[in-house]
Chain A
Amino acid sequence: MTDAALALPARRRRSSASYRLERRIKKGFLVVAVGLVLIYTLFPYYWAIVSSTKQGAALYRNTFLPAFDFTYYKALYENKIFLGSLVNSAFVASSTTALSLILGISAAYALGRIDFPQRRGVLMTILMISIFPQVVVLSGMFELINWLGLYNRPSALILTYLLATVPFTTWILTTFIREFPRELEEAAIIDGCSHFRILTKILLPLMGPSLASTGILAFILAWNEFLFALTFILTDENRTVPVAIGLMGGSSRYEYPFGQIMAASVTVTLPLIVLVLIFQRRIVAGLTAGAVKG
């Protein structure tokens, strides 16, 4: 339902001129509002791009067009430590995503398709785990990481990130699985097909889009994580990108390397933005599926 459709009956009663004027004013107002929203949401990133291509004094003059000077980027890509942190981030985020999808889909099958008495209890527990603050597990996690000998290793982060991503993937995949009609598997159940085969042969081939949107959300969650990455990694070469950027600074307030930080920021965010724009619909579906049922 749109306002254009709603306005149809009114058109007959009012003179078409006043109607047209009103519509034009309303439309003008909407266009201005849309423009403001676009500037508000997009300008900061645009400005980061502009700033990252300016050099020296130009950086401090506020010209609104990029200067296309890629010195900062070149310096960044020759910086082994920064490249290393990119690799670490990619490794940690994709491993976390893969693991949480596997754990999530298996659990989601049970929670979405098999009737057993404790189902609600398990779902509530998962929801509770996903809302409690990460700082609460910090001490216990620190001990665990040390005990496993993973301190200052990127793989420690994969383990700790499961705390946030597994409840999330389980929850969303459960809602997605429930949306499939049960008739899909009925014939298979009558033929005595095992649950494992139902999941892998019937449901999984249909779940590509659901897995994609859940996976992207989990990936973004892991890619952006800061607290654990800051706490469990000690040395620069093992850091993930958000922490690397967070700790970038100059020797004094006036030497603050904003150009360089902006170049790094643009680099880290670009893959996410591309992902988001390509999978826009799927992401929205995933986000709202998780929340509406909650």
Chain B
Amino acid sequence: MSLKLARADRRAAWMFMAPMLIAMLVVAVWPLARTFYFSFTDAYLDDPTNYSLIGFDNYLEVIGDRTWWIAVRNTLTFTVVSVAIETVLGLGIALLINQAIPGRGLVRAAILVPWAIPVVVATKMWEWMLNDQFGVLNQVLISMGLIDHGIAWTANGSLIMGVVIFIDVWMTTPFMVLLILAGLQMIPGEIMEAAEVDGIPAWKRFWSIVLPLLKPAIGVAVLFRVLDALRMFDLAYVLAASSEQVMTASIYARNRLISFQELGIGSAASTWVFLLVAFVAILIIGVLRLDRAAGEAA
């Protein structure tokens, strides 16, 4: 009887999941498989039915392209710097909101605003604020006497990556704050009270109690943000189209695929992006696991 019931349950489970699984087969697994397949062909987008298999040539073509490596370097720089800043800033703001402060609810709501704004809109807003002649930031800096003429933030090759990182930090720090705040609220109050009674100074309480206890929350938040940053497309594309200074790996792949119509090479580039993200994901998850294992052993 119970065996029969278990079997019926199992069948029911698959029935309930069927619509979701079919959808995922159609929009994820199938296109992914086709991308892999196309990456071994010399197909062009205008006539994808006419092609021949050419082995790994496309993969070699991509890694032989100087622009690809620039894109990879940009992507990695962007990911490392922006996620690092977001983590520190997010931690700071989370600690602040966690205090008993006036207007705490207001801050908590305000912090969600940058997160809800579409990337394109945020990019345009900052582009306007950073405009070299009329931008409010230059005006403020000039009136404070810090600079004597406006800085061309978005037109200057060496500054534009900084601008991209800056805008990304503005948009995604809220996500960090929320996840870290959730972690902070799970720290039992007694621990902090005991430390306070023992007269342990605030910075040490933070460094040896709060931070270690927050590690899992921060780890998960960093993982999500890194994987998201590695596939960044819209921000750099809207701000600088295909300028090499901020071209990301995703932009490179899309350029080859759509702008140059090179279905084969574009697919190979996409596959490289996929491998890059998968590699980093495995690396981070590995580090998190090691960390957890070490924590349990101690």
Which residues of A are interface residues toward B (Cβ below 8 A)? Answer: 1-4, 6, 9, 30-31, 33-34, 37-38, 40-42, 44-45, 47-48, 51, 59-60, 62, 102-104, 106-107, 109-111, 114-117, 119, 122, 125-126, 129, 131-144, 146, 159-160, 162-163, 166-167, 170, 195, 199, 220, 223-224, 226-227, 230-231, 241-243, 245-246, 258, 261-262, 265, 268-269, 272-273, 275-277, 280, 283-284, 287-288, 291-292, 294
Is B277 engaged at the interface, CB distance under 8 Å to the other chain? yes
State A143–B35 Cα separation when bound (angstroms): 10
Is B33 engaged at the interface, CB distance under 8 Å to the other chain? yes
State A274–B50 Cα separation when bound (angstroms): 50
Residues of B within 8 A of A106 (CB): 16-17, 19-20
Is B145 engaged at the interface, CB distance under 8 Å to the other chain? no
A44 engages B122 (CB within 8 Å):
yes
A294 engages B220 (CB within 8 Å):
yes
B274 engages A136 (CB within 8 Å):
yes
State A294–B45 Cα separation when bound (angstroms): 38
CB distance from A198 to the nearest CB of B (A): 10
A242 engages B113 (CB within 8 Å):
no
How many residue pairs link A and B with beta carbons under 8 A? The number is: 290
CB distance from B182 to the nearest CB of A (A): 4
Q: Known contacts being A132-B277, A294-B220, is A37 close to B93, with CB within 8 Å?
A: yes
| 21 residue pairs bridging A and B, Cβ less than 8 Å apart | A1-B189, A2-B99, A31-B102, A38-B110, A104-B20, A122-B21, A126-B24, A131-B277, A132-B274, A138-B254, A139-B266, A140-B31, A140-B32, A140-B34, A140-B38, A226-B119, A246-B237, A273-B117, A275-B116, A287-B178, A291-B220
State A292–B111 Cα separation when bound (angstroms): 20
Residues of A within 8 A of B12 (CB): 110, 114, 195
Residues of A within 8 A of B31 (CB): 137-141, 143-144
Residues of B within 8 A of A280 (CB): 108-109, 112
Is B263 engaged at the interface, CB distance under 8 Å to the other chain? yes
State A138–B221 Cα separation when bound (angstroms): 27
A287 engages B175 (CB within 8 Å):
yes
| Chain B, interface residues (CB within 8 Å), range | 35 or more
Which residues of B are interface residues toward A (Cβ below 8 A)? Answer: 9-10, 12-17, 19-21, 23-24, 26-28, 30-35, 38-39, 45, 48, 93, 96, 99-103, 106-126, 128-129, 131, 133-134, 136, 139-140, 170, 174-175, 178-179, 182, 189, 192-193, 196-197, 217, 220-221, 224, 227, 230-231, 233-234, 237-238, 250, 253-254, 257-258, 263, 266-267, 270-271, 273-274, 277-278, 281
Q: Known contacts being A129-B24, A280-B108, is A40 close to B121, with CB within 8 Å?
A: no
Residues of B within 8 A of A246 (CB): 120, 123-124, 234, 237-238
B109 engages A138 (CB within 8 Å):
no
CB distance from B236 to the nearest CB of A (A): 11
A116 engages B9 (CB within 8 Å):
yes
Q: Closest 4 A-B residue pairs measured CB to CB?
A: A140-B31, A140-B34, A1-B189, A133-B231
Residues of B within 8 A of A117 (CB): 10
CB distance from A52 to the nearest CB of B (A): 10
Interface of A is mostly: helix
- Which residue of chain B lies nearest to A274 when distances are taken between CB atoms in the complex? B116
State A37–B271 Cα separation when bound (angstroms): 40
A40 engages B170 (CB within 8 Å):
yes
Contact of B96 among A33, A143, A262 (CB under 8 A): A33
CB distance from B170 to the nearest CB of A (A): 7
State A129–B281 Cα separation when bound (angstroms): 13
Q: Known contacts being A114-B13, A220-B116, A269-B118, is A60 close to B134, with CB within 8 Å?
A: yes
Residues of A within 8 A of B193 (CB): 1, 6
- Which residue of chain B lies nearest to A114 when distances are taken between CB atoms in the complex? B13
Q: Known contacts being A133-B230, A265-B121, is A140 close to B274, with CB within 8 Å?
A: no
State A294–B225 Cα separation when bound (angstroms): 13
Residues of A within 8 A of B140 (CB): 62
B119 engages A37 (CB within 8 Å):
no
Residues of A within 8 A of B124 (CB): 245-246, 261-262, 265
Residues of B within 8 A of A31 (CB): 101-102
Residues of A within 8 A of B133 (CB): 60
